[in-house]
Structure 1
């Protein structure tokens, strides 16, 4: 659970070699930490220690205070996410500042994003609807991709195995070259992850008609990034990733074969320019294309099979274009303003949606005043207006504040509103007797408040840092299913809680870190929020020197309530990891991850086997070994 102790510890520049232009990586997320929002950064070293088969979900599960993450059936699967008491789709996912959440279905789709190309992950906590729009109700997760750092050809090769016949391998290569325009950074990567998977249901919970009892996966990805400096003040970045995944889905009853065969392509382009010291701007465009062929074959009682779906298509294509400027005004004040546009279309042969297109357009502005009489106070205030097709728009505002009580102690807070627009599914789904849309749905609206203290100092003459955040969220017009009908719930849902974390470096090589989150969720008039843990905590102890390191981590999850009213959770899981460099030049390394050391049987969620509610099981005891060659 080692976290970057401060924002300054996570450099935001591209590389020392490329100095002729501003960084193309979006600084919008990191900038908010300077004005009162809480930011956590997961760095590259932590990502590498998450294990050979780690995907983004596993990395987030290990390292981010206040964020509860659990994959449903192991790596490369859908997961449950809850940031500061939020629901799955209350968190916005960005890739280099570009929105990934799909507006047709909502939810978080990270199950085919490998960690090979990820430099760091920035998690911005609390309501962030002002700059980031719909779904940034409880926070934002920004995945920052890697860039070329070396003028010599450099890279790495990783090979991994695990005890469920899992095989993983990836290669990355990079180089910075110079052309007539300036420095050009080139990076390319390829990765492969395959496993037979584990059995995610207890024997007693599976019916006799189940023949496919394991959940396997086969994920292949390649991608690349080019960063071209254009003179001393401009930069163009191009990114592309292609993922081909065969994902198996286990079921506790009648299951013979259920798969999503998927191809996903993500492409982004960013241009950034500084016009002197007082004005800079960037333009971003992206496309996220997702194509899935869904197959579901059931075994019948007494023999034979029934094909419910055979290569049925579901997928979507998202486009986006954003323009943002930052101006330094007279007196040292700063103004951020922008325009954000999103277009969506989809097709679903499994779930009938009458209108499979949507679009939204937003204008926003934020003022960051400088008050000479209060040099230790760093406030901001702003407003955003967003309109959507087929539904009602929303206006939100936000006030943030960071106050330096001393060199070591900072008081931060933010207060404002956020919103979540209804998805096309919620507006237009047409499955009588199962799920029906509601074209009159209003956006969900919430009032959000966060107040926190951050301390960086020493304990027994050793470096120590700690943080505590109180949060409160009041949600009105909550979008929920009433029987088979999507409706805005009556009354107001209140979510409140506290999150605390600390990190202590003792001696030259030892470090201990811990975090805990308490969520309190109210329900009103039959409307409630489900699958949010009432309490969860993590602690990690680690040792590291120049050649080797070892760590042990425990995570505890308290009570969780499913939509059916089942109380589950109540488990603790112990993990261990180690690495050893085989040479002084740090070119050869062996890494070991031992997940669920005590082989604890625990539930990641609930489903039905046709007779009763049963548990999805978390990954059992698993050993993963990886060899890394760096060149």
Structure 2
């Protein structure tokens, strides 16, 4: 690919001209001669998948589910990680990457906190029990087929931390019997480079169909300065937050006849991630290796009974280095390749039986083992395990054929004596062909993590082994419409939610405690999509959150209001398309009671296939088109300063498919 000159980062005007020129190139007539359209016979390994289709299935019983498809993932840009995809695509989900791609982020779903949302990779829990946080900063977007977002309290089927919802990231699988794949190359205006490749094929052997897929990706950038120059002290010499992330993954799916299959998955990520600071910083970085492996066996025993068994390992190893500059000259090494990391193991079994009368019973066992080590933050007890049993009944009411309810219960025990029991009732009622009323009510819980129980850093944080599980009562009620508006396809939904939290786990000074009183979170979410005509489409969403604390205890980093909209265009033959998106964030209050947020950001994207066969494609993303200066979060130091979102950035990607 011909290298495109990049603009100066000092003056945004040439950069915008560059972006406009790239956009014109994308929508102008193709330079390559048209060839017969390439068609791939898309198939799946013949044995049907029966493994926890729970996320998608719950939409039939009253839970709100969003599906982000591959086309939406590709719009997120050539150096996209999962955080960027979620930020751009999921209605009702607030995402604020701290310092750009492949970094930590703030998340809020239905008024929840960072660790109120459970993250799954092909059904495997990624939230670690050592810290409880969301670690998505090494997951490449090119490996993902779709993302399923299940909203509301979901502890019944998914356990601790599924307080506000569940995000299930589904990796790609082989889908054709011809050898096929793609190669991508990308460049951005900060000289960030990205490249990835994928190959796949379904073959037959003596057992049945075997699907094979492998992928590799590499992303590198020096990044941008994530603080205002006025907030930077002269002692900070490393002023940009860069990254280098390399990933390899493979998946094999073996069918045994038409009723069972075995799936093996492995992913290896190697990342060097800078950690930006506005003061004293000479070199702070995480050198990280993450390995995820899963094995899943599924079987359709007969027409009425199916089950799956899944085992997984999630291993995370970080070497942390922190070197500060001193005021009078010289340096001070605070950490030199200090280790922190964890290993999670899990074994899950789930069955689904259709009973007489058409009733469906789901039942399962979920077992997790965790261990970790932290030479940066001292945690005295670094092991835990949790075991759960759950069941859900999905009855069929003959007298009410349009009503689709479910009811279930889960009991979970954590080593050390803590346990939790939750129940959940969901309901979907088809009012008419176009209207549906849905709702769910139940309890959820969040077990204390090892940091909260056992951290031992006098003057910083002190753990509390007597912490109780945080419990909540959750209710969601929604109305959905799917039909037409002005004779054009239109869908919309409105959801009201309410969460009452008891025994909130919080810091009282430097001591982890269960807060007194009840925390109330409530709000409303509205979203819709409208196909204006054959070429134009419009979609948007908005969320209003209201948080009420008790006895001086509350929760932080929850946006009071945020909204998004996107206008898209695709040509009649779908050879090219373009779109623009607007994000607006109102007030966000940090843990130190600092009000930040208050910004709007405009992004744009476009693509152009260069031939009829659709083997060659150019894509463009323009992020923060008007170069807004906005805060994604606040630093934890003193004084606290704003982490700035990514400035005006253009990214171009070339794709070749075979």
- Normalised by the length of structure 2, the TM-score is 0.93
From the superposition, tell whether residues 420 and 608 of structure 1 become closer, same or farther in structure 2 (CA, over 3 Å): closer
Aligned to 2:155: 129
Structure 2 unaligned spans of 5+: 1-40
Distance 2:46 2:629 in 1: 54
Distance 2:594 2:610 in 1: 50
Q: Is residue 613 from structure 1 mapped to residue 640 from structure 2 by the alignment?
A: yes
Aligned to 1:206: 232
Distance 1:98 1:563 in 2: 30
Listed one character per residue, the Cα deviations across residues 269-315 of structure 1 (whole Å, up to 9, x for unaligned) are 11110011100000011000000000000000011000000000000
Listed one character per residue, the Cα deviations across residues 478-502 of structure 1 (whole Å, up to 9, x for unaligned) are 0000011000000000000000001
Instruction: Report if aligned partners of 1:25, 1:144 keep a CA contact under 8 Å in 2.
Output: no
Aligned to 1:12: none
Aligned to 1:557: 585
Q: Is residue 120 from structure 1 mapped to residue 146 from structure 2 by the alignment?
A: yes
Listed one character per residue, the Cα deviations across residues 336-362 of structure 1 (whole Å, up to 9, x for unaligned) are 000000000000001111110000000
Structure 1 unaligned spans of 5+: 1-14
Once the 2 structures are TM-superposed, how far is the Cα of residue 609 of structure 1 from its aligned partner?
5.5
Distance 1:423 1:233 in 2: 40
Instruction: Report if aligned partners of 1:51, 1:593 keep a CA contact under 8 Å in 2.
Output: yes
Instruction: Report if aligned partners of 1:252, 1:609 keep a CA contact under 8 Å in 2.
Output: no
Distance 1:587 1:18 in 2: 22
Aligned to 2:433: 407
- Normalised by the length of structure 1, the TM-score is 0.97
Aligned to 1:547: 575
Q: 2:290 aligns with which of 264, 269, 276?
A: 264
Once the 2 structures are TM-superposed, how far is the Cα of residue 98 of structure 1 from its aligned partner?
1.2
Once the 2 structures are TM-superposed, how far is the Cα of residue 16 of structure 1 from its aligned partner?
5.6
Aligned to 1:591: 619
Aligned to 1:308: 334
Aligned to 2:512: 486
Distance 1:493 1:554 in 2: 32
Distance 2:45 2:269 in 1: 32
Q: 1:467 aligns with which of 493, 498, 504?
A: 493
Aligned to 2:652: 625
Superposed CA RMSD in Å reads 0.9
Aligned to 1:366: 392
Aligned residue pairs total 616
Distance 1:207 1:35 in 2: 55
Once the 2 structures are TM-superposed, how far is the Cα of residue 180 of structure 1 from its aligned partner?
0.2
Listed one character per residue, the Cα deviations across residues 582-601 of structure 1 (whole Å, up to 9, x for unaligned) are 00110000000000000000
Q: Is residue 514 from structure 1 mapped to residue 537 from structure 2 by the alignment?
A: no
Q: What's the secondary structure of 1:559's corresponding residue?
A: strand
Q: Is residue 574 from structure 1 mapped to residue 602 from structure 2 by the alignment?
A: yes
Distance 1:297 1:396 in 2: 46
Q: Is residue 418 from structure 1 mapped to residue 424 from structure 2 by the alignment?
A: no
Listed one character per residue, the Cα deviations across residues 194-241 of structure 1 (whole Å, up to 9, x for unaligned) are 001000000110111000000000000001000000111001100000
Once the 2 structures are TM-superposed, how far is the Cα of residue 20 of structure 1 from its aligned partner?
3.2
Q: What's the secondary structure of 1:60's corresponding residue?
A: helix
Aligned to 1:17: 43
Instruction: Spell out the pairing of 1:236-255 with structure 2 (5 A cutoff).
Output: 236-255=262-281
Aligned to 2:24: none
Aligned to 1:3: none
Instruction: Report if aligned partners of 1:24, 1:271 keep a CA contact under 8 Å in 2.
Output: no
Listed one character per residue, the Cα deviations across residues 30-69 of structure 1 (whole Å, up to 9, x for unaligned) are 1111100000000000001110011000000001111000
Instruction: Spell out the pairing of 1:304-343 with structure 2 (5 A cutoff).
Output: 304-343=330-369
Once the 2 structures are TM-superposed, how far is the Cα of residue 452 of structure 1 from its aligned partner?
0.3
Q: What's the secondary structure of 2:219's corresponding residue?
A: strand
Distance 2:655 2:114 in 1: 34
Q: What's the secondary structure of 1:412's corresponding residue?
A: strand
Distance 1:176 1:283 in 2: 23
Instruction: Spell out the pairing of 1:45-444 with structure 2 (5 A cutoff).
Output: 45-444=71-470
Listed one character per residue, the Cα deviations across residues 257-276 of structure 1 (whole Å, up to 9, x for unaligned) are 00000000000111110011
Distance 2:552 2:618 in 1: 53
Q: What's the secondary structure of 2:635's corresponding residue?
A: strand
Q: Is residue 495 from structure 1 mapped to residue 482 from structure 2 by the alignment?
A: no
From the superposition, tell whether residues 312 and 142 of structure 1 become closer, same or farther in structure 2 (CA, over 3 Å): same
Distance 1:30 1:621 in 2: 36
Distance 1:522 1:146 in 2: 42
Once the 2 structures are TM-superposed, how far is the Cα of residue 18 of structure 1 from its aligned partner?
3.6
Q: What's the secondary structure of 1:407's corresponding residue?
A: coil
Instruction: Report if aligned partners of 1:207, 1:609 keep a CA contact under 8 Å in 2.
Output: no
Instruction: Report if aligned partners of 2:50, 2:306 keep a CA contact under 8 Å in 1.
Output: no
Q: Is residue 534 from structure 1 mapped to residue 547 from structure 2 by the alignment?
A: no
Listed one character per residue, the Cα deviations across residues 560-602 of structure 1 (whole Å, up to 9, x for unaligned) are 1011111110000000000000001100000000000000000
Once the 2 structures are TM-superposed, how far is the Cα of residue 25 of structure 1 from its aligned partner?
5.3
Once the 2 structures are TM-superposed, how far is the Cα of residue 26 of structure 1 from its aligned partner?
3.2
Distance 2:417 2:649 in 1: 47
From the superposition, tell whether residues 235 and 608 of structure 1 become closer, same or farther in structure 2 (CA, over 3 Å): closer
Distance 1:485 1:263 in 2: 32
Aligned to 1:40: 66
Distance 1:456 1:105 in 2: 41
Once the 2 structures are TM-superposed, how far is the Cα of residue 17 of structure 1 from its aligned partner?
3.2
Distance 1:608 1:363 in 2: 39
Once the 2 structures are TM-superposed, how far is the Cα of residue 24 of structure 1 from its aligned partner?
5.6
Instruction: Report if aligned partners of 2:45, 2:175 keep a CA contact under 8 Å in 1.
Output: no
Instruction: Report if aligned partners of 2:129, 2:370 keep a CA contact under 8 Å in 1.
Output: yes
Distance 1:147 1:17 in 2: 10
Distance 1:582 1:234 in 2: 41
Distance 2:634 2:273 in 1: 20
